[in-house]
Amino acid sequence: MGLLADLKILYHLTLRPIRGKDHVERMESFYRGQAEAYDAFRKRLLKGREELWQLVGVPEGGVWVDMGGGTGANLENFGDRIERLEKVYVVDLSKSLLEVAARRFKTRGWPNAEAVEADATVWRPPSGAADVVTFSYSLTMIPDWFAAIENAKAMLSPGGVIGVVDFYVSRKHPAEGHARHSWLTRSFWPVWFAADNVYPSADHVPYLHRHFKPIHFQECRGKLPYFPIMRMPYYIFLGEKAVIPHEAGSCSPGPETP
Ligand SMILES: C[S@@+](CC[C@H](N)C(=O)[O-])C[C@H]1O[C@@H](n2cnc3c(N)ncnc32)[C@H](O)[C@@H]1O
């Protein structure tokens, strides 16, 4: 049963063509056939998600937005602490994955969790504000990833936290203290993943560091199921939306006139 489910997922990951005239259709075309078996396989493929959730913690009475949250499996990392949140939104474009998420919330009895079919580059919570925004292996699937990060920053309250875990490759000349990947790593993984519309980038990490005050940054390698010698690079980033002090204007108010 496990092997059959894995074979089905591997077929979708490697052989089945992805069709669709736009991004929404391509996402649904890719995920429709794997929605039910998604969680078991991705548990072994997508590393670092539990660590990210542990690092973020649960903001008491807060609003958490999980962008590209798929089946909502990451919410299992909250356990009972989910009740401490005012609201959790799992935002995704794939109807099939969101159906799994909505079923999960009902079964688990999480009335404060909601599955939202929307685009991470533009969607905001009804209140307009969030305390935490997470992207777990979704930034690499969002073509306008920079717009998704800007949208997250705009909705975060001052001091709010962004958490990202995803595949990546380093720049040829990365910032000091950051890992430098070999030419082979930098060339191989983007080509390998592009077949599934996943784009490990050398720019996500610098962009996140530029827009948020880093709290935690970790660069790792993970094993790929069924490909024992291969190690995919991934990172975990936790950053804070800095509170920008109000700067007084530099011009003179001038004398009081009628
Ligand atoms: C690899 S899956 C990760 C799902 C989940 N976060 C996890 O950790 O298992 C990437 C997800 O991003 C979603 N996605 C891609 N582009 C999106 C967009 N523009 N807006 C919202 N979700 C998007 C896909 O539909 C998919 O569910």
CA–centroid distance, 207 to ligand 1, in Å, is 19
- Cβ(100) – ligand 1 distance below 6 Å: no
Q: Does residue 68 have its Cβ closer than 6 Å to ligand 1?
A: yes
Q: What was the pLDDT predicted at 185? A: 96
pLDDT in tens, the chain (258 residues): 577 777 776 666 676 777 887 888 887 777 777 767 666 667 767 899 999 999 998 889 999 999 999 999 999 988 888 999 999 999 999 999 999 999 999 999 999 999 999 999 999 999 999 999 999 999 999 999 999 999 999 999 999 999 999 999 999 999 999 999 999 999 999 998 888 889 999 999 999 999 999 999 999 999 887 777 888 999 999 999 987 665 556 565 556 665
67 CA from centroid of ligand 1 (Å): 7
Q: Which of 47, 93, 140, 150 to mutate to test the pocket of ligand 1 (most atoms within 8 A of CB)?
A: 93
Give the C-alpha distances (Å, rounded to integers) separating 151 from 27, 124, 155, 188: 20, 8, 6, 30
Ligand 1 neighbourhood includes 72 CB (under 6 angstroms): no
* Domains of the chain and any CATH numbers: 38-240 (3.40.50.150)
Ligand 1 within 6 A of 119 CB?
A: yes
- What is the predicted pLDDT for the residue at 251? 64
> In this structure, which residue's CA is closest to atom 1 in ligand 1?
137
pTM score of the predicted model? 0.86
- Sign of the four-CA dihedral 122, 126, 132, 137: negative
**Strand, coil or helix: what is 101?**
helix
Nearest atom within ligand 1 for CA of residue 39: 9
Residue nearest ligand 1's atom 16 by CA: 142
Amino acid at 217: F
Q: What is the pLDDT of residue 41?
A: 65
First to last CA, the chain: 85
Q: Is 233 in the pocket of ligand 1 (CB under 6 A)?
A: no
